[in-house]
Amino acid sequence: MVRRKLVAVVSVAAVTGALTIAVAGVANGAPAVAWSPCTEEILQRFDCATVKVPMDYSHPDGEQISIAISRSKATEPQRRRGVLFTNPGGPGGTGRDLLYNYLDTPLSKMYDIIGIDVRGLGASTPLNCEVPVTPDPWSSTRPADTEFPRITEYEKQWEEGCVRGGGPFRHHVTTPNTARDLDRVRAALGEEKINYLGVSYGTWLGAVYGQLFPHRLDRSVLDSSLDPGTTWHDQAYDVVDTTKANFDKWAVWTARRDSTFHLGDTPGKVRAAVDDIAGRLAAGPVGGIENQSQFDMMIGQFTRFRQVWASLAKNLQKVQAELPLPTGDPALAESNRRAAAAATRLTEQATTENGVYRTILCDWAWPADLNSYYRDMRQVRDTVPFGSTVPQMAPNNCFFHQGDREPLPVIGKARYPKGLVLAAEGDTQTPLVNGQAMAKTLGSSLIAVRGEGQHGQYAAGGGDPDIPVKRNPCVDDKVNAYLIDGKLPPRRTDCDSVNRPAAIPTDPKPGIEDLIADLGNIAEQLLHAVLPRPAR
């Protein structure tokens, strides 16, 4: 067991040097955290507690807020090597139930794994936003130019509602303050250092923590990383590029198997077939797909996940056959209906909508020219409308944000032990180029997963052969070796995805189509695998 140490009062300068933070200590070496069994049903396997932190770190003795935390204790306490703080990303994802993701990994033996509802979220002091009174204007993935002002007005109402609902607290919900909260929790636990495993936005939070508190960070894994050197808005261009790359790879794969799928023997012809279906859907339902928006969601999600490629191509072939003379095939309609519903939920699952999300995003600077958003929306709508690419380009509430925000720290080469960054080639939420940038900036080792669309690489999926997201031993073994034994892989390691496309030969074989999984079935299985574990 790692010896706990008396933590004295520590002063830490903020990035600008203008803000001094007093970190509360631990009296007489005893932890300041009073653990008790969690009372919420979803958390009953864990211990829960709260830690008080300043709302405003420039006035540490002023108003205090609560940070709710959870713990899964190391199952082999004689081998315990400290605490592992976790964060699920978002920004705006609650963290106390994230522990489920790691219970069946070797990490649970050696670490007290800590989940945290960061300031503003979950059981912590909430940040409230008033919801706009006008209906959500996003009725289509391909909004007409005339809809752009309605979208902008809706975002303006969001910002106004967050200002009213959040009050003074909102000004203090920032990534640097969240990192300071983590250090308060560390001190309250009586730990000299933390280890860290963050996913998605949680990678940025981890990088900020390391920048502000380098002497308090030991081992760190940043899974599906943001780019620390650019803005949230500018990383949206990487999302669009990755969405297009996924589609193009699927089109190449499908064209090579035209004798099976009959969507075209070149990628251009496959795209033309997709556009024909989309054009028909503008006039009304076909093949169980209700409209263009459902179709765009299906294309965006199911070209991302390679294990669904064959099922998507098979169903699109059947839909294309119905364009000139609809047959009303009930089996096709049911398959596509289920697939469209799963694609919509997958898209929603990748989207956060709460006051913390709409506040933290304003940490970054946003373009001030409204017409630049509109130009990007038009271009993406007319070229890569799949998934949720057009909303990525649209103005959000931060366009209207006013008031000073603490400058974000400039992330540089890590001044703490060398860490590990994970990224995947087909991840449209945090594209591979973002992870490459994070690893280069910090001087960390990078594990890049080729041919993978999953968001979150470590301990992803499971062992059930009926679930189409498998765990990747190339990734998991290296992460475990690092977090448990301190063995880092080389500066860059490439792992191949274990979630590959179906083995459809390029030359036709009798009966091969009968072996392709039903799109509705595999889409629902994929959704089950991708959803956060307590939500399954």
**pLDDT at residue number 465:** 65
Instruction: Look at residue 464 in the predicted model and tell me its pLDDT.
Output: 65
- Torsional sign, CA 88, 90, 91, 97: negative
How confident is the model over 236-278, as pLDDT tens digits? 999 999 999 999 999 999 999 999 999 999 999 999 999 999 9
Q: pLDDT band at 30, cuts 50/70/90? A: very low
Nearest in space to 356 (alpha carbons), one of 92, 179, 112 = 92
- Could you tell me the two tokens for 46? 């864990």
CA–CA separation, 415 and 213 (whole Å): 9
**Span 3-24, average pLDDT:** 32
Asked if residue 9 has pLDDT above 60, the reply is: no
Instruction: Extract the tokens encoding 282.
Output: 């503008």
Look at the chain and count its residues: 536
- When pLDDT is averaged across residues 86-105 and rounded to a whole number, the result is 94
Strands 217-223 and 194-199: parallel
Distance CA 148, CA 140 (A): 12
Chain-centroid distance of CA 339 in Å reads 22
Report the pLDDT value the prediction gives residue 463, as an integer from 0 to 100.
Answer: 61
Cα three-residue angle 14-19-22, rounded to 5 degrees: 90
User: Which strands sit side by side in the sheet containing 445-450, from one edge to the other?
Assistant: 36-37, 47-54, 64-72, 112-117, 83-87, 194-199, 217-223, 420-424, 445-450, 492-496
Helix and strand element counts for the chain (H, E): 16, 12
* Distance (Å, whole) CA 313 – CA 327: 19
pLDDT at 172: 97
CA–CA separation, 325 and 195 (whole Å): 61
Give 489-523 pLDDT, tens digit per residue. Answer: 999 999 999 999 999 999 887 888 888 999 999 99
pLDDT surpasses 60 at 58: yes
pLDDT for 328 equals 81
Which stretch of 19-23, 397-401, 455-459, 496-500 has the lowest confidence by average pLDDT? 19-23
pTM score, two decimals? 0.92
Closest among 406, 393, 394, 392 to 359, alpha carbons compared: 406
**Is a pLDDT exceeding 80 seen at residue 10?**
no
More confident residue, 104 or 27: 104
Look up tokens 């990678």; give the residue. 203
CA dist., res. 502 & res. 453, Å (int): 15
pLDDT in tens, 331-380: 999 999 999 999 999 988 777 678 999 999 999 999 999 999 999 999 99
Calpha distance 110→74 (Å, rounded): 5
SS3 473: helix
Q: Could you identify the residue written with the tokens 């996940």?
A: 305
Calculate the alpha carbon distances from 439 to 143, 198, 413, 481 in Å.
37, 14, 9, 18
Distance between first and last Cα of the chain: 34
pLDDT of residue 466: 66
Is-contact 421 447, C-beta < 8 A? yes
Strand 83-87 and strand 194-199: the pairing is: parallel
Tell me which of 160-164, 303-307, 413-417, 505-509 is least confident. 505-509
The average pLDDT across 377-392 equals 97
DSSP state of 361: G
- Is the predicted pLDDT of residue 301 greater than 50, yes or no? yes
What integer pLDDT is reported at residue 106 of this predicted model? 97
Q: Mean pLDDT of all residues in the chain?
A: 91
